[in-house]
Structure 1
Amino acid sequence: MRVVAASLEQVDLEGARRGLVLSLTDDEGRVGLGEATPLPGFSPDAVDDDRRALAELPGALGPIDLPGAPASPGTTTGAAPRATAFAILRALAPVSSRLRGLPAARFALETALLDLLGQRVGMPVSACLGGHRRHDEVRVNGLLTTSVALPEMLERARALAARGVRAIKVKLRSRGEEGFARDLEALRALRREHEAVELRLDANAAWSLEEAPRRLGLLAPLGPRFVEQPVAPELLHHLGACDVPWAADESLAVEGMPERLLEAEGCAAFILKPAMLGLLRAHELGRRAQARGIDAVVTHLFDGPIALAAACELALGLPRPPLACGLDAHAGLEAWPAVRIPQLREGGLVASSGQPGLGVRPWMA
């Protein structure tokens, strides 16, 4: 199978943010979709660089070769599921060096190729990534922030609970000792009202290596599952075991850091953002983390429907069920053309689309 045509569409979002939708057509007329929507100020790549790469590179892709083909649509006979991921890596090999530093562009290309290949072999992307699914659904977590007034934060928590969301992540936005004290009081109020909810916290790398253990000790009575990225990405492996476990987020994008964190005491989870890591790299890190007894959480980057669908497939394609994932629909989707994300279900669930490939239909058709 070869890619014979490619097109790129830009979607203007709020502020300066823009999304890119990549369409790849193979030699039998199938169309695979990918998306690059880097987040300004957070992603290492800029949308203009991604656009140039996605306009130039599809023509240089290698063939997508499998050891066999399915006997009939919807079956996997003749092609080992894991072979599909290796087929994508081989197809990307001629352009891999030009994708360095452009994870959103790599994510788009990998997604579109896996969408094509899944359609060809009659498997969803999750099965192409990890073989036959071992879990049928994944729960999503809710998201709150301490930057809003406490009554509003508590009201949002009630709305999440009413939807059936059982895990809540709180971004700790305040800075300095006074700010941390305010956040701590807000979290205590949240815990009093929601005793059974799984609480996760995100410090966004704002704490120093010296103050992090003390602050984690103060948070321990609240029983958080973990605190994401308490210190700077390049320092996280030095933190060690603390009163509250911690999770790696931005650190996973630092060269050589995932390998250190797989061995680090105190690391409870890898937060996998395929828009920051690439789809295949995120799956590899999730697989390796789970093999070491480290939990995995998949999350979007407030990107669009194609990237969100791909992130859902990643969560469904891990060897073991991940923890509740950051895959809930978000307000930013309203800036995109209306398109159904078949993996998102009512009640805070992600489930298989039941369709080959990504299962998202292009609005451009």
Structure 2
Amino acid sequence: MRITRVETFAVPPRWLFCRIETDSGLVGWGEPVIEGRAQTVRTAVGELAEQFLVGADPLRIEDHWQLMTKGSFYRGGPVLSSAVAGLDQALWDIAGKAYAAPAHQLLGGPVRERVRAYCWVGGDEPAAVRDQVTAQVEAGFTAVKMNASGRTDRLPTTAALDAIARRAEAAREALGPEGDFAVDFHGRLTTAGARRALDVLEPYGPLFVEEPVLPEYTHLIGQVTGSTTVPVATGERLFSRTQVLPALQAGVAVIQPDLSHAGGLSEARRIASLAETFDALVAPHCPLGPLALAASLQLAFCTPNFLIQEQSIGIHYHSGAELLDYVLDREVFRFHEGHLLRPTGPGLGVTIDERAVREADGTAADWHNPTWRHPDGSFAEW
């Protein structure tokens, strides 16, 4: 079996899919994308495919991963890692179809039969947070995630800290003692600011706080983990085992590799194993499309130290399309009391609606995240 063609498709709302075709008729799908840099990643996918994949045996997944990540003198970074990630997902999809097994079965088999998932909730005021969390509880979910704040000073004021606490209090009231909420800081605070913010969150028992500091300050994150009993999570902007290692050494409790950014299923599996040696849990980052979620689930079902799965169905910033628009078998992504059941289909376990993907290709304007500024005109973290 040989790879004959690699195609990419930029589809709404902000996703990039890749399709690997073989001379045997087997086809694999993946999702290589950086939100806001889809076209850049698309170019990288084409370069990697032409240099390393077309004409090669698709079942040599590890060899391909090594060549794609190390075959150039300049390596690494989010663009290349994301291009590799989607291609790696597609290769695992082909392998599963070739062996008539889900990818997680090829990675050692399932360790659970369902995975817990959480929903994103918005709302700037406590009442709005309470209403949105209540709606998700009524829909059967037992966990949610929300932003700690909107635009904020990197060293938060007393008023800003009070607002963070009131939002957390509203979430806890809606969830009760059995539910969980996570808080995402998006790296908007300094290390000192994060310590202060976690102090006000601690009474409400969040499941974890995400990215309390920017990834470039991972060498300081130990100051945060050492100052609180709140579990600290990070990893969506870390793309390899070597980048994750300092965070684990600093005492991070939860690692969040993104399977469309961190080298695909191959590298995310190794990141999860590394995290296990530090007694850390894995919660794959996934605000993306159906293939990223399908790959994340394959990891979740074969990973002993898995915690919870992010997913983007109904997320507030999708515009123009939804995750389910591109799949034929929506049952795979149907929730059961806030959980997703183990997929049994081959490969990534999802059937893509190829006609819908081809029709959608190129129909959406390039997505870019908002650019924020502080009242004094200086740059603010989004």
Q: Deviations over 1:316-336 (max 9, x none)?
A: 232x15212112523438615
| Aligned-pair CA distance for 1:138 | 0.4
Q: Do the aligned residues in 1 keep the contact of 2:104 with 2:302 (CA within 8 Å)? A: yes
| Aligned-pair CA distance for 1:21 | 2.3
Partner of 2:204 in structure 1? 222
Pick the aligned partner of 2:29 from 33, 42, 49: 33
SS in 2 for 1:210: helix
Q: Do the aligned residues in 1 keep the contact of 2:240 with 2:262 (CA within 8 Å)? A: no
Q: How many residues align?
A: 331
Partner of 2:39 in structure 1? 48
Aligned counterparts of 2:76 and 2:120: Cα–Cα separation in 1:
31
| Aligned-pair CA distance for 1:36 | 2.5
Which one-letter code corresponds to 1:351 in the other structure?
A: L
Distance 1:107-1:220 versus aligned 2 partners, 3 A rule: same
Partner of 2:379 in structure 1? none
Partner of 2:188 in structure 1? 206
Partner of 1:313 in structure 2? 298
Alignment of 1:315-354 (within 5 A): 315-318=300-303, 320=304, 322-331=306-315, 332=318, 335=321, 337-339=325-327, 340-346=329-335, 347-354=337-344
Pick the aligned partner of 1:165 from 123, 141, 162: 141
Q: Deviations over 1:284-328 (max 9, x none)?
A: 11121123210110121x32222222222222232x152121125
Aligned counterparts of 2:281 and 2:309: Cα–Cα separation in 1:
11
Distance 1:334-1:309 versus aligned 2 partners, 3 A rule: farther
Distance 1:224-1:92 versus aligned 2 partners, 3 A rule: closer
Aligned counterparts of 2:349 and 2:259: Cα–Cα separation in 1:
18
Structure 2: state its 5+ residue gaps.
356-382
Pick the aligned partner of 1:277 from 254, 262, 284: 262
Pick the aligned partner of 2:115 from 138, 154, 164: 138
Which region of structure 1 is more displaced relative to structure 2, 111-120 or 180-189?
180-189
Which region of structure 1 is more displaced relative to structure 2, 158-167 or 87-96?
87-96
Q: Do the aligned residues in 2 keep the contact of 1:344 with 1:350 (CA within 8 Å)? A: yes
Partner of 1:82 in structure 2? none
Alignment of 1:57-96 (within 5 A): 57-61=48-52, 63-64=56-57, 87-96=60-69
Distance 1:118-1:8 versus aligned 2 partners, 3 A rule: same
Partner of 1:123 in structure 2? 101
Aligned counterparts of 1:333 and 1:310: Cα–Cα separation in 2:
23
SS in 2 for 1:164: coil
Aligned counterparts of 2:95 and 2:17: Cα–Cα separation in 1:
18
Which one-letter code corresponds to 1:32 in the other structure?
A: G
Structure 1: state its 5+ residue gaps.
41-45, 67-86
TM-score, scaled to structure 1: 0.82
Q: Do the aligned residues in 2 keep the contact of 1:295 with 1:323 (CA within 8 Å)? A: yes
Which one-letter code corresponds to 1:9 in the other structure?
A: F
| Aligned-pair CA distance for 1:254 | 7.7
1:188 aligns with 2:178: no
Distance 1:306-1:180 versus aligned 2 partners, 3 A rule: same
Partner of 1:359 in structure 2? 349
Greater relative contact order, per chain length (Cα 8 Å cut-off, separation 6+): 2
Pick the aligned partner of 1:114 from 92, 103, 123: 92
Q: Do the aligned residues in 2 keep the contact of 1:36 with 1:105 (CA within 8 Å)? A: yes
Q: Do the aligned residues in 2 keep the contact of 1:234 with 1:254 (CA within 8 Å)? A: no
| Aligned-pair CA distance for 1:27 | 2.8
Aligned counterparts of 1:355 and 1:5: Cα–Cα separation in 2:
24
SS in 2 for 1:183: helix
Distance 1:61-1:187 versus aligned 2 partners, 3 A rule: same
Which one-letter code corresponds to 1:112 in the other structure?
A: A
Q: Do the aligned residues in 2 keep the contact of 1:205 with 1:229 (CA within 8 Å)? A: yes
Distance 1:334-1:163 versus aligned 2 partners, 3 A rule: farther
Q: Do the aligned residues in 2 keep the contact of 1:251 with 1:258 (CA within 8 Å)? A: no
SS in 2 for 1:28: coil
1:287 aligns with 2:287: no
Partner of 1:23 in structure 2? 19
Distance 1:95-1:277 versus aligned 2 partners, 3 A rule: closer
Percent identity (aligned):
24
Q: Do the aligned residues in 1 keep the contact of 2:61 with 2:88 (CA within 8 Å)? A: yes
Partner of 1:264 in structure 2? 250
| Aligned-pair CA distance for 1:234 | 2.7
Distance 1:342-1:22 versus aligned 2 partners, 3 A rule: farther
Partner of 1:78 in structure 2? none
Aligned counterparts of 1:259 and 1:304: Cα–Cα separation in 2:
27
Distance 1:310-1:254 versus aligned 2 partners, 3 A rule: closer
Q: Do the aligned residues in 1 keep the contact of 2:281 with 2:306 (CA within 8 Å)? A: yes
* Backbone CA RMSD of aligned residues: 2.5
TM-score, scaled to structure 2: 0.79
